[in-house]
Structures are given as C-alpha cells and as structure tokens.
Amino acid sequence: MTSRERLLCVLNGGIPDQVPVSPFIQEEYLSYYYDKKNTSRLYDAVALRRELDFDLVTRQYVNEIPYFLQRSFPNWEVERKLEVVNGNYIRTLTVTTPEKTFRQVEGAPYNPKMLNGIHFSTMEYLIKGPDDFEVFRKYFPGRQKQDADHILESGKEARKVIGDLGISCPWAMGGVYNLASTYMDVQEMMVEAITDEDYYDDYMSFFTDLVVSDHEIFVESEFDCVGIQGNIANGGMMGADYFETHVLPYEKKAIDVLNAAGKPSIYHNCGKARSLYPVYPKLGITVWETISEAPQGDSNLKEAKEYFKDRLILFGNFDQVHFLKEATPEQIEQKAYDLMMTGKQGGHYIFACSDYLEIGTPLENVKALLRGARAASRY
C-alpha cells in the first residue's frame, strides 16, 4: 500500500498492510529542521516526508486567520498590528463598528528564527460581555464567494502536492468550543453556561452556525479529512457531565455535517482526557488524537484501546516532550516498538507522538522513532 492508501484504509475502519506511522509535523519542528523563519505545513512537510519516509498527514491552516478578521467589510473595519515589545511579540486586533470598537491583545516570546506557528496567549479578549456580543453579532460580516473558493482551491493544491505520500487534514475554522473561547475568556464561558444559560446558548449557537457553514464548504473540497481542535474543553477543565451538557450539543451539530457527507474528522485533544472517555464516542468523531500521557495528559494507550475498542480510531501516545528529546536512540527505538505492539492490536490506530515534534528534537532520535515503530507495524 502507498501511504495514502494505508491512511485512508484506517480512516474507513479497515486493517491496512501495516499501521501508519505519522509524526505530527508543524512549523516549530519545520523551522528548526530547515533553519528558516517561515515554513509551510504543506510544502515543507511534504519535503520532510520525502527525506524521512513516514505516512504524512498534513495539518495546514487553510485560514489561520478567519475570513471575518482577515479584512474589512462594510461597518466592520479590521486593523491588525504585530510588534516586538520588551522581547515579546505583541499582536493587537482592532475591529471597529458603527456602535463599538473591539480590541484583542495577544503576546508570545519573540523568536528571531520563527514567526508562523508561534503560540500566542490572550491578554485581552475581543468580547467582554453580553453587550459586546450583541454588537459583534449585529455587524458580523457574511462569508463571500472568494472565501469558499479559497478553501476549495487549497484542497485541490494539497491533493496535487501530497500525491500518494499521505493525506490532507487541515484545520477548519475550529472546534466550536475552541473557536468560541478564542474571543471570550474560557473561565467566563464556563461560568456563563451555568449562571446565564440564555447568553451562553446564544453565544455558542452563533459560533456553531459559523463552524457548520465552514464544514459545509470543506465537505465539498478535495481535502481527505478535517481537523477539529478540541483541546480547550479538556478533562482538566471539566468533567463528562459538564462536557455532555454544555459542549457536546454544539460540537456535534458541526461534526454531523462532516459525517453526513462521509468526510472523516480528526479531533485533537493533547491534554487530559480520561474523564471524557464516556462522551467522546457521542461526538461522532472518526479519530481522537493524541492519547497523551504525562506530562501533557492523563491517558494510557493500552487503557484507551481497551475502553474504545472499535468505536474510535486512536492516534498518538509517544512522549515527545521529554523522552523523544532526551533518551538515547536505542531507548527510543525500543519504546516505539513496544508502543506499536500495543496500539496495533485490533487495528483502529495510527502511530504518532502525543503532539507535534518539538524544537530541539535530535534528528537521530526522530529516525529511531520511525525505525522502531516501522519494525512492529506490519499485521
């Protein structure tokens, strides 16, 4: 099988010739590996795959900035500013409407070798209460044809560039909860769900409809599956009952669009998840990644395999935070072999780390990871 055939086989619930070995690749490692500031999750990831021979799942952003913040619209003036202040990136977004001006401020450590892929922390949120949201919703601009065309053209380009080296799984606009918490403090969201249910439902329903409209375009595209960010509503933030009541209905409505069209989804929670096991199958997702053990999460691959059986495809579990960077190649190769032997049982598994490959990961260790996993991957 080609890498593409192998991955699609797993996504369709089948047993391939061997378990796909697919390290999570994004800008951090690509910038480190290629020693350049701007990298592509598509073109550079394909180049890396050609060098290291793994089963590629691309994770490109089709729109890292959503359409409504990329440019101005009538009654919706957008201004973006990025500057370096006291050794930090400061990113300021201003949206001006006839009734109110909104501002969001984010910060991140300055890195002269990397620009895209940096993780910003929000210091001031765009929406600060119900009054803000009413104005935000009143003037919110509709999507234009050029926005849909961009998604469709990006899908065609990804299919052409990747070929048989793997599959494309771009991030759509966002998991509903992740997207909603981008513009309102998540702690406020969690409280509003209980203290002001009508406001919370209005707020979440607005962003649900936005993601639904995004997914409706993605199902028409040539992208092989769709990535859904689910890491904010994690098991460290909330329990299964809270998730099922206040998160699942909104996420599921958007995921149902993908399922109705037969478009697989990969749902990403790289943190704590064990308490959410009962609700994950109810979401309707195809794949859950990344089954993270400590220090990131609280999951164990063997336990997760036993719990989910064939209800979910599992993706991940190798510690890239410490072990992959600090252990010897011999230790890494053996651990990858052992983990693969656990994950491959019964199928429904793709081998990867517990999140993206990090800056400072020695190349010989990455090669040992791939070598050990491949040695145990055949069915």
Contact present, 358 and 28 (Cβ < 8 Å): yes
Contact present, 252 and 212 (Cβ < 8 Å): no
Measured CA distances, 378 to 14, 89, 289, 344 (Å): 14, 46, 21, 9
Task: Extract the tokens encoding 232.
Answer: 């904010």
Which of these ranges, 106-120, 270-284, 292-306, 328-342, has the smallest mean pLDDT?
Answer: 106-120
Q: Which helix (H) or strand (E) holds 252?
A: helix 248-260
Half-sphere exposure of 53 (CA within 13 A, CB side): 6
- Write out pLDDT tens, residues 20-58: 999 999 998 999 999 988 899 999 999 999 999 999 999
- Determine how many CB atoms are found less than 10 A away from the CB of residue 65: 12
pLDDT at 232 over 70: yes
In the prediction, which pLDDT does 295 show?
A: 80
- Write out pLDDT tens, residues 261-304: 999 999 999 999 999 999 999 999 999 999 998 888 999 999 99
Rounded to 5°, angle at Cα 165 from 37 and 375: 100
